[in-house]
């Protein structure tokens, strides 16, 4: 009987952790979308330069340069917002499923697969950090500060996804040991 009470406490703890991870996933997904939109707005001159270099200017021969810049920037902004909305909706789905499993016990496996893929993509992106050079100038230092914020956000997301996976698996293991019920 003692072991059963200990399992109940562990189940409750892991379910609470799962709920907190779900809320964290939703909040960090929203924050990453806001941060990306702000960084696009703040670095619009760099983005416009890159788009000008990549664009096929024969399309814009009939319009002036300012109109072409506006079209390029808003096209880029529109695509970015579209991708961010999809990303936020995926974060929202994963977070909501984690909260529901932690609160109501509804078990879905697909959100755990998505959380694992997000975690894997973050780990793979961190592997590429070693290729970056240290900032040599003030402009690069500002960009480096933005990179630090990105790395902290990614580390927070990685921890959230790892905690979510860990909590979901352990709560399911202890529920199975308990006979499936609380």
Residue-wise pLDDT for 154-180, tens only, equals: 889 999 999 999 999 999 999 888 876
The reported pLDDT for the residue numbered 105 is: 83
Of residues 106 and 142, which shows the higher confidence score? 106
Please check whether residue 136 is in contact with residue 15, taking contact to mean a CB–CB distance below 8 angstroms: no
Shortest CA distance to 25 belongs to which of 182, 140, 130, 159? 159
- Length of the chain in terms of residues written: 182
- The least confident of 63-77, 81-95, 134-148, 159-173 is 134-148
Q: Give SS3 for 63.
A: coil
Of residues 154 and 129, which shows the higher confidence score? 154
Q: Tell me how far apart the alpha carbons of residues 160 and 18 are, in angstroms, rounded to a whole number.
A: 9
- Other C-beta atoms closer than 10 Å to the C-beta of 95 total 25
The reported pLDDT for the residue numbered 136 is: 47
pTM of the model: 0.78
Query: pLDDT grade, residue 20 (50/70/90)?
Result: very high
**61, 64, 81, 84, 181 from 34: Cα distances, Å:** 35, 32, 10, 9, 40
């Amino acid at each position: 009987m003692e072991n059963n009470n200990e399992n109940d406490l562990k189940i409750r703890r892991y379910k609470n952790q799962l709920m907190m991870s779900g809320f964290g996933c939703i909040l960090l997904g929203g924050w990453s979308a806001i941060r990306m939109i702000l960084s696009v707005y703040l670095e619009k001159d760099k983005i416009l330069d890159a788009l000008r270099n990549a664009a096929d200017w024969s399309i814009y021969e009939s319009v002036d340069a300012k109109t072409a810049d506006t079209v390029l920037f808003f096209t880029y902004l529109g695509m970015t917002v579209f991708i961010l909305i999809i990303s936020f909706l995926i974060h929202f789905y994963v977070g909501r499923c984690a909260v529901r499993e932690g609160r109501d016990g509804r078990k879905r496996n697909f959100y755990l697969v998505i959380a694992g893929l997000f975690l894997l993509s973050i780990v793979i992106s961190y592997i590429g950090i070693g290729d970056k050079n240290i900032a040599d100038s003030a402009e690069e230092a500002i960009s480096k500060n933005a990179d630090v914020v990105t790395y902290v956000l990614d580390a927070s997301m990685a921890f959230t996804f790892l905690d979510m996976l860990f909590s979901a698996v352990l709560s399911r293991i202890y529920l199975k040991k308990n006979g499936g019920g609380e």
